[in-house]
Amino acid sequence: MAKLDLAFVMDCTGSMGKYIDSARENIRNIIDQISSDGTRSVKFALVEYRDHPPQDETFVTREHDFISDISRMRSWLDDCSAVGGGDGPEAVVDGLQKLLTFSWRKDATRIAVLIADAPPHGLGIEKDAFPLGCPDKYDPFTAANALATQEITLYVAGCEPSISPYKDFFTGISYITGGQYVPLASANNLAVAIVFGAEEEMSLEHVMKTEVAKVMEHMDMSGRVQKNRSN
């Protein structure tokens, strides 16, 4: 059975208030579509992020590692709320960095979905409380390259129009991992893109494993033939 590990990284700051219901609905749609036919072993994870103190005093990130229990994943989503955040930029890179700490399965297709309406710190934006970048010294391009190294494909669901000025940035970090930028315009746009991407990657993985098995079988048969001839 094909395996898929699917993690979501979601901005949960106050500016997401007008988007968070749509974001949750998008995630539910993806979960339903990917889990519907029962042909995959799917696990889900979630990272919520806000910002660093003093911009936000609640949390920087809140992590929920991989589970296969869909009802529990839904419960995590229900608990997400759009609060705080302070300035415009948020702890985006911290959210991405937390993906690297999760228990991704070695033999699974790995996909992450970032849902955001604001850029990370350090992009030269006015009213950035941390103009030199993430206080924890994380860099967005380093994080994206680390995701790529771990074969984690990143899709970015941009909450437009808020994110529009930073679309090129988010497109860039998704491309580093082999992913893409998708506007959070409707549940179908995001769900179809992610489902297609997951199925395409798992299909390719299946083909590759099948071909490797054929080669190994051929080598085994050839070895037996040679051995029989020598006897």
Q: What is the pLDDT of residues 188-199, one digit of tens each?
A: 566 666 667 667
Distance (Å, rounded) from C-alpha 79 to C-alpha 126? 31
State whether the Cα torsion 65-112-146-91 is positive or negative.
negative
φ, ψ dihedrals at 135, nearest 5°: -60, -25
Q: Which domains does the chain have, with CATH numbers?
A: 2-230 (3.40.50.410)
- Is residue 218 over pLDDT 60? no
Q: Which residue has the higher pLDDT, 124 or 218?
A: 124
Q: Which residue has the higher pLDDT, 209 or 47?
A: 47
* pTM of the entire predicted model: 0.84
- Is residue 147 over pLDDT 60? yes
Mean pLDDT throughout 141-162? 95
- The beta strand positions in 97-219, using DSSP E, are 109-116, 152-158, 181-183
- Give the model confidence (pLDDT) of 31-80 as tens digits: 888 888 777 899 999 999 999 999 998 999 999 999 999 999 999 999 99
| Amino acid found at 151 | E
